[in-house]
Amino acid sequence: QVHAAWLPPEAFRSLGARRVLVHGDGPLVDTVLDEVARACARYGGRMWHSPSWDVDVDLVLTLRRADALPSSTAQAARAAGEAALIDDGRTLGDEGFLLARAGDVTVVLADAPAGLLYGLFHVVRLCAAAFDPARPPELHRPALRRRMLNHWDNVAVHPVMGQVERGYAGGSIFWRDGRPRGDLARLRAYGRLLAASGINAISVNNVNVARAEARLLTDRLGDVAEIADVLRLYGIRVHLSVTFAAPVALGGLSTADPADEAVRAWWAATTRAVYERIPDFGGYVVKADSEGQPGPFTYGRDHADGANLLAEALAPHGGVVHWRAFVYDHHQDWRDRSTDRARAAYDHFTPLDGRFRTNVVLQVKFGPVDFQVREPVSPVLAALPATRVAVEFQVTQEYTGQQRHICHLGPWWSEVLRFAPWGPGGRTIADVATGEKGEGGGLVAVANTGDDPFWTGHPLAQANLYTFGRLAWDPRLDPRAVLDEWMTLTFPPSATADPELVRRTLHEIMDDSWRTYERYTAPLGVGFMVHPGDHYGPDVDGYEYSRWGTYHFADRDGVGVDRSRASGTGFAGQYPPYWADVYESPERCPDELLLFFHHVSYTHVLHSGSTVIQHIYDTHFAGVEEVEAMRRRWQTLNGMIDPAVYVRVAERLDEQVRSAIEWRDQINTYFLRKSGVPDAHGRRIY
């Protein structure tokens, strides 16, 4: 049984009680029909599919350019919709829709079938409000064309990474023990889940194991096609992670050099075969010259040569290559302070701006290091004006509690998307991902889903997936309002005795949970301090003398990484002038990023008025108290919601409390021992 997705049948209740007309043809329209039919079967109501006689309806979902509707009601509705559109002077596009009231009818109008599907999900999200006679017409179009999830799912179980690298939700939805799972019903449910939050693209295998699983590209392409055949019904295009070494690994060539004619011909022929089998194939995702993956550096070529090689093969078929910018030296000597991992992506990629083909999307992690709970926004995102850039988030909570902790990431992503790298009031990261003419690379995230009955291990981690999709559709949405939508869909009023209490309690638990997580883990943007390898739980010096380039430099006098131009690694200088100046100065640098940019003494006074050391103590005590309060609040919901959800969350909150205490005590003790400065409030530190 699959629990509590955010489209439980109950969410369709308000729809089922009505008379619905679906007008249009094609596979995606069939999906809409299927959704509506299921709602009617369960809750009553009636549905028609393009009837040739007059019907009285409450809801019409219709393609604008479909043949004239026979029903006079529907015709009127369509006219009303068009009038609203003409006033607005805009078109609906491939995925957009118009929601308008015409007389007693609610109309969803789209130019393409995907728009009808998104329109249907929007009506479900609104519930009864979609039928409010006073509702003004609304035009919905995704701000970002590409809204993608990357699965780090391994086809075969990997000895270190398991079935899913950084997966905290059980096995893979696609693969098991080297074979496709073949659970097409679950796959279809997954497509529905993704489409309902606005996601329209996924990659189905891990970038890190693409070499071992290279055959997905050739003789095992059928396994990928099977997934594509199902997800297509929900408007989702499938992409494949491929290894740069594929011509050698699969094609028997002696080289994968981008300048080699045989290599180019191999990619062209292989890609052509992919499109013969999967005509709407999305394209490739590549991790090259990164953490041991093969790449163009082997042949003395740069990353524009590498990305363009694959882009050239994909171009005739309309595909794109997502080329990851996560390139750095992972064999760093910790004694050598001249190498700064934070600088690496900028140093590698900015000289290449303007050289990438138009179907290359450079996929950039939102921060310069690695998905930490707090990092500055990556300067790379503002440094390649002539390149299509995508922002990469991590929905899977590798560094944010691994779906054992509640950490709602919506406010964090929203902050990143609203960040204006050229200075306040200027273009934002969301604008970069959108592109000047809508041709930007969009938003991508590493998925947090698996074959777990709750999809995401922690039932409340579903909110992160939903929020990611919604922010990719519209980055201006208020993350709190999005959370509210998710709550209403996941815990529908009909399923609880006191919907208001449930909603209020969930907000109290989740709204600030990202900041709570930040409080009890690594302080002031310094990052890491996690247990090496699995990245769960504290280990303050775990990476301090390692090769990975993630250091905090704590000593008896102070802590933090000097990344200033004046005396440090110069990373601060990679930003446009406004932020370069802010970050350069320990006085102006925002508190939450101070230790990312500066090495300061423990007695340095923050803008908050507290010293660094007292801030560390206070936030760690507060963080644990907040988690304990979360657990108490959750207990008040016992008996109010699905018992399976209640129990799963309650168990995980016990672990979150245990883990937060562990973090508090290790971090506080570490810094007390280093600094010798006692807690001003005399609390117990070990």
- By beta-carbon proximity to ligand BDP, the closer residue of 340 and 398 is 398
Known catalytic membership, residue 291: yes
Catalytic residue among 54, 132, 276, 291: 291
Q: What are phi and psi of 510, to 5 degrees?
A: -100, -35
- Based on DSSP, count helices (H) and strands (E) in the chain, helices before strands: 20, 20
According to CB under 6 A, which residues from 204 to 223 bind ligand BDP? 207-208
Residue 83 neighbours by CB under 8 Å, 6+ apart:
none
Known catalytic membership, residue 183: no
Catalytic residue among 398, 485, 518, 562: 398
Asked whether the beta carbons of 314 and 320 are under 8 A apart, the reply is: yes
Burial degree of 484 (CB within 10 A; 0-12, 13-18, 19+)? middle
- The residues that bridge with 105 in the sheet, in sequence order, are 102
Angle at CA of residue 327, ends 325 and 331, nearest 5°: 165
Query: Under the phi-then-psi rule, with left for phi > 0, alpha for psi from -120 to 50, and beta for the rest, what region is 177?
Result: left
- By beta-carbon proximity to ligand BDP, the closer residue of 95 and 370 is 370
x/- mask, ligand BDP, residues 42-81, rule CB under 6 A, reads: ----------------------------------------
Structure tokens given for 307: 């990305």
DSSP state letter for 562: -
Nearest distance, CB of residue 145 and ligand BDP, angstroms: 23
Q: Which of 390, 335, 667 is nearest to 520 (CA)?
A: 667
Residue 109 neighbours by CB under 8 Å, 6+ apart:
62, 63, 64, 78, 81, 82, 85, 92, 97, 98, 100, 119
Does 326 participate in binding ligand BDP (rule CB under 6 A)? yes
Amino acid (1-letter code) at residue 630: M
x/- mask, ligand BDP, residues 651-670, rule CB under 6 A, reads: --------------------
- By beta-carbon proximity to ligand BDP, the closer residue of 326 and 670 is 326
Does 35 participate in binding ligand BDP (rule CB under 6 A)? no
x/- mask, ligand BDP, residues 327-366, rule CB under 6 A, reads: ----------------------------------------
Residue 476 neighbours by CB under 8 Å, 6+ apart:
143, 430
Nearest distance, CB of residue 627 and ligand BDP, angstroms: 24
Asked whether the beta carbons of 323 and 361 are under 8 A apart, the reply is: yes
Structure tokens given for 36: 């509506």
Question: Angle formed by the axes of helices 643-675 and 612-635, to 10°?
Answer: 160
Asked whether the beta carbons of 118 and 97 are under 8 A apart, the reply is: yes
Structure tokens given for 180: 């496709």
Q: How many other CB atoms sit within 10 Å of the CB of residue 350?
A: 15
Nearest distance, CB of residue 538 and ligand BDP, angstroms: 17
Binder among 213, 257, 289, 370 for ligand BDP (CB under 6 A): 370
- By beta-carbon proximity to ligand BDP, the closer residue of 179 and 531 is 531
- Cα–Cα distance for residue pair 514/20, rounded to 1 Å: 41
Element (H, E) at 251: none
Element (H, E) at 163: strand 162-164
Q: Which residue is nearest to ligand BDP (CB)?
A: 370
Nearest distance, CB of residue 372 and ligand BDP, angstroms: 9
- By beta-carbon proximity to ligand BDP, the closer residue of 343 and 648 is 343
Angle at CA of residue 441, ends 291 and 150, nearest 5°: 50
Angle at CA of residue 210, ends 289 and 274, nearest 5°: 115
- Count of residues in contact with ligand BDP, rule CB under 6 A: 10
Structure tokens given for 465: 């997936």
Nearest distance, CB of residue 392 and ligand BDP, angstroms: 8
Known catalytic membership, residue 370: yes
Binder among 13, 23, 145, 166 for ligand BDP (CB under 6 A): 166
DSSP state letter for 544: T
Does 287 participate in binding ligand BDP (rule CB under 6 A)? yes
Nearest distance, CB of residue 543 and ligand BDP, angstroms: 11
Question: Angle formed by the axes of helices 27-43 and 113-126, to 10°?
Answer: 30
Does 323 participate in binding ligand BDP (rule CB under 6 A)? no
Nearest distance, CB of residue 165 and ligand BDP, angstroms: 5
Residue 645 neighbours by CB under 8 Å, 6+ apart:
3, 4, 454, 459
- Cα–Cα distance for residue pair 636/664, rounded to 1 Å: 26
- By beta-carbon proximity to ligand BDP, the closer residue of 197 and 372 is 372
According to CB under 6 A, which residues from 381 to 410 bind ligand BDP? 398
Query: Under the phi-then-psi rule, with left for phi > 0, alpha for psi from -120 to 50, and beta for the rest, what region is 300?
Result: left
Nearest distance, CB of residue 494 and ligand BDP, angstroms: 41
- By beta-carbon proximity to ligand BDP, the closer residue of 125 and 324 is 324
- The residues that bridge with 110 in the sheet, in sequence order, are 63
Asked whether the beta carbons of 245 and 310 are under 8 A apart, the reply is: no
In total, the chain counts a number of residues equal to 686
Terminal alpha carbon distance of the chain: 46
Q: How many other CB atoms sit within 10 Å of the CB of residue 630?
A: 24
Nearest distance, CB of residue 288 and ligand BDP, angstroms: 11
Does 371 participate in binding ligand BDP (rule CB under 6 A)? yes
- Cα–Cα distance for residue pair 575/581, rounded to 1 Å: 9
Angle at CA of residue 596, ends 568 and 508, nearest 5°: 170
Catalytic residue among 213, 302, 370, 618: 370
Beta pairing class for 175-176 and 320-324: unpaired
Binder among 10, 58, 111, 165 for ligand BDP (CB under 6 A): 165
Binding site for ligand BDP (CB under 6 A): 165-166, 207-208, 287, 291, 326, 370-371, 398
Q: Which residues are catalytic?
A: 291, 370, 398
